[in-house]
Amino acid sequence: MLFLFENFSLDDERRELRRAGASVDVEPKVFDLLAHVVRNRDRVISRDELIAEIWGGRIVSESALATCINAARTSISDNGGEQRLIKTLPRKGIRFIGAVREDNGNDEPSVKTPLLPPPHFSLPDRPSIAVLPFRNIGNDPEQQYFSDGVVEDIITGLSRVRWLFVIARNSSFIFKSTPDVQQVARELGVRYVLEGSVRRAGNRVRVSAQLIEAEGGTNLWAERYDRLMDDIFSLQDDLTMSVVGAIEPSLRKAEIARVRRKRTESLDAYDLVLRAAPYAHSHIAEDALVAIPMLERALELDPGYVTAHALLAWCFHFRFSRAGLNESDRAAAIQHARAAISTGSDDATALGMSGFVISLDEHDHITAVNVFDRALALSNSNIFALSCSAHVSAWMGKFEDAIDRAQRAVRLSPFDQLNFLSYNTLAISYFCLLRFQDAHDAALRSVQINPRFSVCHLFLSAALLRLGQNEAARLEAKQVLALDPTFTIRRFSVTVGFEPKVFTPLAEAWRSAGLPEG
């Protein structure tokens, strides 16, 4: 049986999607998810059902599930903003809403409906690169997290080179099984693409990589590394510097040295952090409960592990702000954020997270701004430093900086699940600048990216009210309370209500929409 929708086909035997007459392979779990929602298009598919069907009931973080759904959308030229084919229903699940007909192969497909072209980005005015997820070619598919961790460290190293434009991990990773390098480069707007593979066996690891200039399809550099696991960090640095040197042969030694950074020497601690990271990045208090024990164990193995401190700071922040305002959570968040910055950290991601926590939980904005400046001096391509600093700038009333940094973060990672934070930043800034339609559009994108996060609905409610759509504003306010029954304006002000000119107009809109004062 062949399922046809618009100009796509979904065929069990070939296990591929055919897009606009050309075959585009998709990663098996993405294919399985897409096939399941298409076959069950007459009903809503819940999160639990997806996990049971696609992952066999194993524990899966919200960010991993969202990444898979976004990749399924991308494979059929849909996206979280438009949701023309795969619709998210908050607190219920997803449903396929595209037109479908079943074909046994006897008839030709009906007239094809024109598709909107994928988003187009012009090349930046500096060298630009996307690092694709490396293929895990070992015997254990559960080791994919290790392959992804190797690549994430390579991306981090590249992003430390100031003149290089580096696409963030969460956007390049949606192209997990896309073989067409030129397509990837077009959709992300980059000149270079790095791809490769990882094989981990016992105490050895083999990494192969090649750097491609996408427009001409020219292979600029290729190398294979065969090392002991104890040497994995040196391998990542060597690979990163080889890539940078291939892009710019005249690179100064100072820029090469910038790639290197302090990190743990404990492989066990590194492994724990890799496993915990997807849960820590979700911004959901329930996921923090999964991440915290792993991160605390990592710190037992390496008390100075900056990344573990930063991720714990985030986890405890979400627990504090989203799960009862417990003082112990706030204190733990500040403690770990301070630990992450006190070591002279040169990790821009850790600094971005820590500045976020120090501003919102400790209200030490001077330190937070200094930490953000330090992070962006290290890496002006770091999406965490950009999006976290943009959000804090918005709450401080620095709208010009907030808008600039949020827009840069979205451009660096156009398909990133973290972009809800940048769109919330834009919603706050535009609202306070009386640009209510722009605030509405930004808030709507935020809701579509992260519908389970009540704060996204909060900003949409305020914008709708100021646009005169009072009933829609009240419905969004009800959605806030459905997602967070303990929400009150006063409770929300504890972390973000430090600048009256920002918080007061938003609070007035929320009261008018029916949200409780507290």
Considering the domain 2-103 in this protein, what is its CATH number?
1.10.10.10
Is 90 exceeded by the pLDDT of residue 107? no
Please give the average per-residue pLDDT across 290-305, as a whole number: 92
Reported as a pLDDT band with limits 50, 70 and 90, residue 344 is low
pLDDT exceeds 60 at position 299: yes
Q: Report the range of poorest mean pLDDT among 170-174, 258-262, 466-470.
A: 258-262
Span of 20-34, 72-86, 344-358, 369-383 with lowest mean pLDDT = 20-34
Residue 504 to residue 500: CA distance in whole angstroms: 5
In angstroms, rounded to a whole number, what is the distance separating the alpha carbons of residues 185 and 170?
Answer: 15
Output the average pLDDT for the chain: 80
- 377: Cα separation from own chain's centroid: 22
Which of 15-19, 241-245, 408-412, 507-511 has the highest average model confidence (pLDDT)?
A: 507-511
3-state helix/strand/coil string of 466-503: HCCCHHHHHHHHHHHHHHCCCCCHHHHHHHHCCCHHHH
The CB density around residue 87, as the number of other CB atoms within 10 Å, is 16
Q: Which pLDDT score is estimated for 5?
A: 45
- DSSP states of 88-138: EETTTEEEE-S--EEE-SSS---PPPPPPPPP--PPPSS-EEEEPPPEE-S
Q: Which residues pair with 198 in a beta bridge?
A: 136, 207
pLDDT value at 19 more than 50: no
What number is the average pLDDT over the span 161-189?
A: 78
pLDDT at 505 over 90: yes
Are 437 and 465 in contact, with CB atoms under 8 Å apart?
A: no
| Cα torsion 411, 415, 419, 424: sign | positive
Helices 436-449/419-432 angle, 10° precision: 160
- Phi, psi at residue 408, to the nearest 5°? -65, -40
Q: Judging by DSSP bridges, how do beta strands 192-201 and 218-228 pair with one another?
A: unpaired
What does the domain layout of the chain look like in residue ranges? 2-103, 128-259, 262-379, 404-518
C-beta of residue 258 within 8 angstroms of C-beta of residue 342: no
**Res 171: pLDDT:** 81
The reply to whether 262-379 and 404-518 are identical in fold is yes
- Residues 268-290 have pLDDT tens digits of 888 888 888 878 877 777 788 88
Average pLDDT over residues 24-45: 71
Q: Under CATH, domain 404-518 is a member of which superfamily?
A: Tetratricopeptide repeat domain (1.25.40.10)
Average pLDDT on 467-478 reads 94
Buried b (16+ CB within 10 A) or exposed e, 400-422: ebbbebbebbbbbbbbbbbbbbb
Q: Which of 246, 247, 292 is nearest to 272 (CA)?
A: 292
CATH 1.10.1020.10 fits 128-259, yes or no: no
Token pair, residue 246, equals 């291939």
Task: With cut-offs at 50, 70 and 90, classify the pLDDT of residue 253.
Answer: very low
Q: What is the reported pLDDT for 419? A: 87
Task: Note the pLDDT of residue 52.
Answer: 80
Most confident of 236-250, 257-271, 380-394, 445-459: 380-394
What mean pLDDT is predicted for residues 495-518?
A: 95
Give the mean model confidence (pLDDT) for residues 496-503: 94
- What is the pLDDT, as a whole number, of residue 157? 78
CB atoms within 10 A of CB 98: 19
Q: Is residue 51 over pLDDT 90? A: no
Distance of CA 139 to the CA centre of its chain: 28
* pLDDT above 80: residue 442: yes
Q: Is 69 helix (H, G, I), strand (E, B) or coil?
A: helix
pTM of the model as a whole: 0.64
pLDDT of 343? 72
- Cite the DSSP H helix spans in 220-324: 232-247, 253-259, 267-280, 285-301, 306-322
Measured CA to CA, the distance from residue 174 to residue 67 in angstroms comes to 7
pLDDT tens sequence across 308-337: 999 999 999 988 987 888 999 999 999 999
262-379: CATH topology is 1.25.40
Residue 17 pLDDT exceeds 70: no
Runs of H (alpha helix) within 124-248: 144-159, 169-172, 181-188, 232-247
DSSP state, residue 142: G
Residue 277: what pLDDT?
83
The pLDDT value recorded for residue 108 is 39
